[in-house]
Amino acid sequence: MLSTPNQFLDILWSYWGKKGENSWEKEFDKCRGRMQSPINIDTNKLIVDESLNIEFINYDKAVNKANMFNTGYKVKIYADENSAEDVFISGSALNNQTYKFIELHFHWNDGPNNGSEHAIDGQKFVMECHIMHRNIKYNDMETANAHDDGYAIIALVYIELDEPNLMYDMITDHLHNVQDIGQQYTFETSIYLESLLPPNREVFYRYFGSYTTPRCNEAVTWIIYPELVFIDKKQV
Protein backbone atom coordinates (compact mmCIF):
# COMPACT_ATOMS: atom_id res chain seq x y z
CA MET A 1 0.00 0.00 0.00
CA LEU A 2 1.19 3.49 -0.75
CA SER A 3 1.89 5.68 2.21
CA THR A 4 0.19 9.02 2.30
CA PRO A 5 2.61 11.83 1.47
CA ASN A 6 4.71 13.05 4.37
CA GLN A 7 3.23 10.48 6.68
CA PHE A 8 6.65 9.48 7.90
CA LEU A 9 8.35 12.83 7.61
CA ASP A 10 5.96 14.54 9.96
CA ILE A 11 7.06 12.57 12.96
CA LEU A 12 10.75 13.25 12.42
CA TRP A 13 10.81 17.00 12.76
CA SER A 14 9.07 19.81 14.49
CA TYR A 15 8.80 23.58 14.29
CA TRP A 16 9.45 23.85 18.01
CA GLY A 17 11.97 22.92 20.65
CA LYS A 18 15.01 20.76 20.23
CA LYS A 19 14.00 19.57 16.81
CA GLY A 20 13.00 23.06 15.67
CA GLU A 21 14.00 24.76 12.47
CA ASN A 22 17.60 25.49 13.55
CA SER A 23 18.33 21.81 14.06
CA TRP A 24 17.13 20.79 10.61
CA GLU A 25 20.56 21.20 9.06
CA LYS A 26 22.13 18.84 11.55
CA GLU A 27 19.62 16.09 11.20
CA PHE A 28 18.73 16.32 7.54
CA ASP A 29 21.77 16.96 5.40
CA LYS A 30 19.71 18.03 2.40
CA CYS A 31 18.38 21.03 4.34
CA ARG A 32 21.80 22.64 3.71
CA GLY A 33 21.26 22.51 -0.05
CA ARG A 34 21.48 25.48 -2.36
CA MET A 35 17.98 25.24 -3.75
CA GLN A 36 16.04 25.32 -0.51
CA SER A 37 12.46 26.49 -0.33
CA PRO A 38 10.60 28.56 0.63
CA ILE A 39 12.06 31.71 -0.87
CA ASN A 40 11.28 35.36 -1.15
CA ILE A 41 10.32 36.14 -4.73
CA ASP A 42 11.91 39.38 -5.84
CA THR A 43 9.69 40.49 -8.70
CA ASN A 44 12.48 42.75 -10.03
CA LYS A 45 14.53 39.68 -10.78
CA LEU A 46 11.95 37.63 -12.62
CA ILE A 47 12.72 36.45 -16.11
CA VAL A 48 9.58 36.59 -18.21
CA ASP A 49 8.95 33.57 -20.41
CA GLU A 50 5.63 33.68 -22.18
CA SER A 51 6.11 30.23 -23.64
CA LEU A 52 5.53 28.59 -20.26
CA ASN A 53 2.09 27.24 -19.57
CA ILE A 54 0.35 24.88 -17.18
CA GLU A 55 -2.40 22.49 -18.12
CA PHE A 56 -4.90 21.39 -15.52
CA ILE A 57 -6.32 17.96 -16.25
CA ASN A 58 -9.50 16.88 -14.46
CA TYR A 59 -9.21 19.76 -12.03
CA ASP A 60 -12.89 20.36 -12.73
CA LYS A 61 -13.84 16.79 -11.79
CA ALA A 62 -15.16 15.88 -8.38
CA VAL A 63 -12.70 14.35 -5.97
CA ASN A 64 -14.92 12.02 -3.97
CA LYS A 65 -14.32 10.62 -0.52
CA ALA A 66 -11.32 12.87 0.03
CA ASN A 67 -9.73 12.41 3.43
CA MET A 68 -8.68 15.17 5.77
CA PHE A 69 -6.05 14.53 8.42
CA ASN A 70 -4.57 16.64 11.20
CA THR A 71 -0.86 15.82 11.39
CA GLY A 72 -0.20 18.28 14.20
CA TYR A 73 1.66 20.65 11.89
CA LYS A 74 -0.88 21.03 9.17
CA VAL A 75 -4.23 19.83 7.96
CA LYS A 76 -3.81 17.83 4.79
CA ILE A 77 -6.40 16.61 2.32
CA TYR A 78 -5.72 13.69 0.07
CA ALA A 79 -7.63 11.56 -2.37
CA ASP A 80 -8.67 8.02 -1.63
CA GLU A 81 -6.46 5.99 -3.99
CA ASN A 82 -9.37 3.81 -5.00
CA SER A 83 -12.21 6.23 -5.42
CA ALA A 84 -10.74 9.42 -6.80
CA GLU A 85 -10.64 10.24 -10.46
CA ASP A 86 -7.03 11.01 -11.19
CA VAL A 87 -6.19 14.68 -11.39
CA PHE A 88 -3.05 15.90 -13.14
CA ILE A 89 -1.05 18.93 -14.13
CA SER A 90 1.27 19.19 -17.11
CA GLY A 91 2.49 21.79 -19.60
CA SER A 92 5.67 23.44 -20.79
CA ALA A 93 6.31 24.97 -17.36
CA LEU A 94 6.76 21.38 -16.19
CA ASN A 95 8.86 20.30 -19.16
CA ASN A 96 5.73 18.62 -20.50
CA GLN A 97 5.94 15.95 -17.85
CA THR A 98 2.74 14.82 -16.15
CA TYR A 99 2.24 15.06 -12.40
CA LYS A 100 -0.61 13.44 -10.49
CA PHE A 101 -2.39 15.14 -7.59
CA ILE A 102 -1.58 13.49 -4.27
CA GLU A 103 -2.29 15.96 -1.49
CA LEU A 104 -3.14 19.50 -0.60
CA HIS A 105 -2.50 21.20 2.70
CA PHE A 106 -2.50 24.60 4.33
CA HIS A 107 0.20 26.49 6.19
CA TRP A 108 -0.82 29.26 8.57
CA ASN A 109 -0.22 30.55 12.05
CA ASP A 110 -1.78 33.02 14.44
CA GLY A 111 0.38 35.98 13.49
CA PRO A 112 -1.14 38.72 11.38
CA ASN A 113 0.62 38.30 8.06
CA ASN A 114 3.24 35.62 8.35
CA GLY A 115 1.36 32.37 7.97
CA SER A 116 2.61 31.79 4.44
CA GLU A 117 5.83 30.04 3.57
CA HIS A 118 6.75 32.04 0.50
CA ALA A 119 7.07 35.80 0.39
CA ILE A 120 6.68 38.11 -2.58
CA ASP A 121 8.90 41.20 -2.46
CA GLY A 122 9.41 40.58 1.23
CA GLN A 123 5.71 40.37 2.01
CA LYS A 124 4.28 37.28 3.63
CA PHE A 125 0.63 36.36 3.69
CA VAL A 126 -1.93 35.08 6.14
CA MET A 127 -2.04 31.57 4.71
CA GLU A 128 -0.61 29.42 1.94
CA CYS A 129 -2.02 26.33 0.25
CA HIS A 130 0.19 23.69 -1.35
CA ILE A 131 -1.35 21.40 -3.95
CA MET A 132 1.17 18.59 -4.33
CA HIS A 133 1.62 16.41 -7.41
CA ARG A 134 4.04 13.57 -8.04
CA ASN A 135 5.62 12.83 -11.40
CA ILE A 136 3.75 9.84 -12.85
CA LYS A 137 6.99 8.25 -13.98
CA TYR A 138 7.89 7.59 -10.33
CA ASN A 139 5.79 4.99 -8.53
CA ASP A 140 6.44 5.96 -4.96
CA MET A 141 7.58 8.76 -2.73
CA GLU A 142 11.09 7.46 -2.15
CA THR A 143 11.85 7.26 -5.88
CA ALA A 144 10.36 10.68 -6.58
CA ASN A 145 12.35 12.18 -3.70
CA ALA A 146 15.56 11.11 -5.37
CA HIS A 147 14.88 13.02 -8.60
CA ASP A 148 14.80 16.75 -9.18
CA ASP A 149 11.67 16.39 -11.28
CA GLY A 150 9.92 14.30 -8.63
CA TYR A 151 7.21 16.73 -7.58
CA ALA A 152 5.31 19.78 -8.76
CA ILE A 153 3.62 21.91 -6.14
CA ILE A 154 1.11 24.67 -6.82
CA ALA A 155 1.32 27.32 -4.12
CA LEU A 156 -1.47 29.79 -3.45
CA VAL A 157 -1.14 32.69 -1.05
CA TYR A 158 -4.07 34.24 0.76
CA ILE A 159 -4.97 37.55 2.24
CA GLU A 160 -7.94 38.31 4.43
CA LEU A 161 -11.21 39.85 3.47
CA ASP A 162 -14.37 40.36 5.47
CA GLU A 163 -16.51 38.33 3.09
CA PRO A 164 -16.28 34.56 3.32
CA ASN A 165 -14.87 32.80 0.30
CA LEU A 166 -17.67 30.36 -0.49
CA MET A 167 -15.36 28.12 -2.48
CA TYR A 168 -13.49 27.34 0.68
CA ASP A 169 -16.57 26.52 2.72
CA MET A 170 -16.38 23.04 1.22
CA ILE A 171 -13.24 22.59 3.30
CA THR A 172 -13.53 24.99 6.22
CA ASP A 173 -17.04 23.77 7.13
CA HIS A 174 -15.48 20.45 8.05
CA LEU A 175 -12.33 21.54 9.86
CA HIS A 176 -13.99 21.02 13.26
CA ASN A 177 -13.86 17.28 12.53
CA VAL A 178 -10.07 17.28 12.72
CA GLN A 179 -9.44 19.64 15.62
CA ASP A 180 -7.22 17.15 17.41
CA ILE A 181 -3.91 15.77 16.24
CA GLY A 182 -4.34 12.42 14.55
CA GLN A 183 -8.01 12.93 13.72
CA GLN A 184 -9.16 11.95 10.28
CA TYR A 185 -12.34 12.82 8.43
CA THR A 186 -13.69 11.55 5.12
CA PHE A 187 -15.65 14.13 3.12
CA GLU A 188 -19.18 13.11 2.21
CA THR A 189 -19.37 15.90 -0.31
CA SER A 190 -17.10 16.24 -3.31
CA ILE A 191 -14.09 18.52 -3.52
CA TYR A 192 -13.30 20.43 -6.68
CA LEU A 193 -9.67 21.44 -6.94
CA GLU A 194 -10.46 23.93 -9.67
CA SER A 195 -12.43 26.04 -7.25
CA LEU A 196 -9.28 26.59 -5.19
CA LEU A 197 -7.39 28.15 -8.10
CA PRO A 198 -7.41 31.85 -8.86
CA PRO A 199 -9.43 32.92 -11.94
CA ASN A 200 -6.29 34.02 -13.79
CA ARG A 201 -3.98 31.05 -14.26
CA GLU A 202 -1.82 32.59 -16.96
CA VAL A 203 0.53 34.41 -14.65
CA PHE A 204 2.62 32.38 -12.26
CA TYR A 205 6.13 32.20 -10.88
CA ARG A 206 8.11 29.03 -11.40
CA TYR A 207 11.29 28.00 -9.67
CA PHE A 208 13.10 24.80 -8.82
CA GLY A 209 13.42 24.12 -5.14
CA SER A 210 12.75 21.73 -2.33
CA TYR A 211 10.20 20.58 0.17
CA THR A 212 9.73 23.28 2.77
CA THR A 213 10.04 20.70 5.52
CA PRO A 214 12.59 17.93 6.17
CA ARG A 215 13.91 15.99 4.58
CA CYS A 216 14.14 19.05 2.32
CA ASN A 217 14.72 17.07 -0.86
CA GLU A 218 15.40 19.32 -3.83
CA ALA A 219 12.86 17.51 -5.93
CA VAL A 220 10.21 20.16 -6.44
CA THR A 221 9.12 22.42 -9.27
CA TRP A 222 7.23 25.23 -7.55
CA ILE A 223 4.43 27.08 -9.31
CA ILE A 224 3.32 30.12 -7.34
CA TYR A 225 0.28 32.16 -8.23
CA PRO A 226 0.84 35.76 -7.25
CA GLU A 227 -2.84 36.49 -7.67
CA LEU A 228 -4.07 36.64 -4.12
CA VAL A 229 -6.95 34.51 -3.00
CA PHE A 230 -9.17 36.23 -0.48
CA ILE A 231 -10.35 34.43 2.55
CA ASP A 232 -12.37 35.33 5.64
CA LYS A 233 -10.35 35.47 8.84
CA LYS A 234 -12.92 33.11 10.37
CA GLN A 235 -11.95 30.49 7.80
CA VAL A 236 -8.27 30.59 8.66
Query: Which residues of this protein are in contact with Zn ion, per CB under 5 A?
Result: 130
Q: How far is the CB of 48 from Zn ion (least distance, A)?
A: 26
**Cα distance between residue 30 and residue 13, in whole Å:** 14
Nearest approach, Cβ of 96 to Zn ion (angstroms)?
Answer: 25
Nearer to Zn ion, 73 or 230 (CB): 73
| Between 12 and 202, CB nearer to Zn ion | 12
State which residue, 130 or 133, has the beta carbon closest to Zn ion: 130
Cα(187)–Cα(176) distance, rounded to whole angstroms? 12
Q: Which residue is nearest to Zn ion (CB)?
A: 130
Task: Output 10 or 100, the one with its CB closest to Zn ion.
Answer: 10
Close Cβ partners of 130 (under 8 Å, ≥ 6 residues apart): 104, 105, 106, 107, 117, 153, 154, 155, 212
Q: Tell me, what amino acid is at 17?
A: G
Which residues, listed in sequence order, are joined to residue 193 by a DSSP beta bridge? none
Shortest Å, Cβ 15 to Zn ion: 12
The CB-of-157 to Zn ion minimum distance in angstroms stands at 12
Q: Considering beta carbons, is residue 100 or 103 the nearer one to Zn ion?
A: 103
**DSSP calls for 167-229:** HHHHHHTTGGGG-STT-EEE-SS-B-GGGGS-S--S--EEEEE--SSTT--S-EEEEEEEEEE
Work out how close the CB of 105 gets to Zn ion at its nearest, in angstroms, rounded to a whole number: 6
Contacts for 54 with CB less than 8 Å, ≥ 6 apart? 89, 90, 91, 93, 94, 201, 204, 223
